[in-house]
Structure 1
Amino acid sequence: MNFDLSQEQQMLEETVSKLLGAHADRRPDSSSVWQDYASVGLLGMSFDDAFGGLGTGPVETMIVMRAIGKQLCTSPYLGSAVYGTRLLQTGGSQEQQTALIPGLIDGSIQLAVAHSEPGSRYSGGDFAMTAISDGGGFILSGRKVRVLGGATATHFLVSARLSDEIFGKGTTGLFLVARDCPGVTIEQYLTIDGRETADVAFEAVSISSGGLMVAAEKSENALEDAMDHALVAAINEAVGIMEELLSITIEYLKTRRQFGVPIGSFQALQHKAVDIFMEVEQAKSMALYATMRLGRPASERRDSLTSAKLFLNRAARAVGEASVQLHGAIGLTLESKAGRLFRRLTAFQVTFGDYDSCLASLLKSTPDILA
């Protein structure tokens, strides 16, 4: 099997690397950064030609996310252009897609998926957010936390429990809610890796019937599909981070001198560097495997993606800790890129499932794995 990138994919990789390298240290709320993303088509990659997009697939998203990881970009690309966009494509109505997609492509609209709630951890299945029928619309009440891209989003895709008899009480519904709707309160904060995220409260927010995207089993399937695509994107971002961390660690071993010689000449440190290299190579293989599995039915891909996240969580910790150890104390500081990469890898390990939750999920779905 040929794993080489096509000529078009190589051109995309080169273009994205140059663009993100120029913007690596700029804040995500800078409108010019997001507009530059739009100018080269990054925000419309997954949309069909009919909408003015590029019609690309998971491999192209992999290329972009690895570049984002290497450059430590803080833009909400994962939350809006991957997670939110995919959910709109699979769960949004034709009218909603027609209204939002042009703005998503030109950068004037950003999406954020508001799904996690306090105490829900990674299941997301049992949540307290409610949508009560109110004549021709709904009243949303509840609170969502750790909303990726929520700090700069113009629209939220919100999951809630329906009380409507038509769809069945207690079933899940997805709603499109504008940021400026009365009753929407946004609490912004920085995560450990320097990204801006938000907790969003919905206090009796009135939504028209047109705000309902999809309900019942269709909404659960759409959420699972979008989360799988976001998970694989995060995995590929982590691979880009590890590749960059390996590169700067090797360079540090060549330039840092101790006892009159480069510390890279010490055999013990060479062995540690080889260990990092092996972890990164295996992580790249697992990430590619996960990317290829996105095209499979949900029942076939879920355990594969969970296995990949489990492996990447372990690899991210191993690579991060070993790289910091080789850098010494400077490797923990924000002044060092190694320190910033380490923080991003630490955040990755608790995004879309930590090690324990992934292992528990696999043991539940495939109990014979213990054998």
Structure 2
Amino acid sequence: MKIAVLREQAEGERRVAATPETVKKFIALGAEMAIEAGAGESASYADADYAAAGAVVGTRAATLQDAGIILGVQGPDPASLSGAAPGAMLAASLNPFGERARVDGYAAAGIEALAMEFMPRITRAQSMDILSSQSNLAGYKAVLDAAAEYDRAFPMMMTAAGTVSAARVFVMGVGVAGLQAIATARRLGAQVSATDVRSATKEQIQSLGAKPIFVENVAGIEGEGSGGYAGEMSPEYQAAQAELVSGHIAKQDIVITTALIPGRPAPRLISAAQVASMRPGSVIVDLAVEQGGNVEGAVAGEVVTVSGVKIVGHRNVPSRLAADTSALFSRNLFNFLSAFWDKEAGKPVLDEEIGDAIRLTRGGAVVNARLLS
């Protein structure tokens, strides 16, 4: 089985889907590894390192020729995959809801497209979960981005000239990214609080030394959606939360928002009025800006100042830590494929539970239930 690793074509994408470490592991399974020249360059992995690990480094055409598996970070243009073996598997982050035309293109090209972001959140798939691995580092980077824009110190400092107060950081959305943001802000010495619509996260917030900010005794407080994600709240809960959060946000120096609902625009958490209530020099980091944003006034790819408050809307935050996020992403891919590797067949054979969840196309058709409903 030949596995092809392509150089990413998306603008600003610096990650790579395999590292020299995972190349060696795939070869140990019996696979032949082909790497497009320069694929790892922007993530600090040199072509020579791939060659030393046993991969063949060459042009895109040579890399794809007769490949039975194609690995990517973001989904490549279907037209750019000519030369791959008939029915080749493509494993990457494919953005099925946002790039439906591209999914149809994979079907037309006879590609078996596997959307890694559709990986079910079950115990045995934790090591394959790209959303968790990438969100973890995105939460960390969000705090560093906030610190870079904030013109004051994070920790409390007692000096002969007086005391510098600790920065007050509020994290909205306590998933993987939010938890890491809390932990990172605490390490930097900030006074941290956090909120989520899922009441079960209260203990997680407290375990990290942060203060939970929660609406109580209102319908819809559980907020638990499918697959471990937050669901949509009742109108009563939304109104109570807005009132509680408004009073809290006005006292904060930094706010980090991380809320996403799969397949839908990001929920609006902070209004323009709430932004205006913060003191000048405060910072908001919107990690959901590419899905429409949690913050009114956030602009994807820009840092804007609104009412004296900086709103940070960097695109593709995991790519801003390309070496480490590539290492984790590539291990997710290896853990996934190796778990189903059939030595006799010389390829992965997926089971129904995970295979049906992540498979978008097969046999020239779109087959995923989430895209057909």
* TM-score w.r.t. length of structure 1: 0.27
The structure whose residues are more often helix, as a share, is 1
* TM-score w.r.t. length of structure 2: 0.27
Where relative contact order (Cα < 8 A, 6+ residues apart) is larger, the structure is: 2
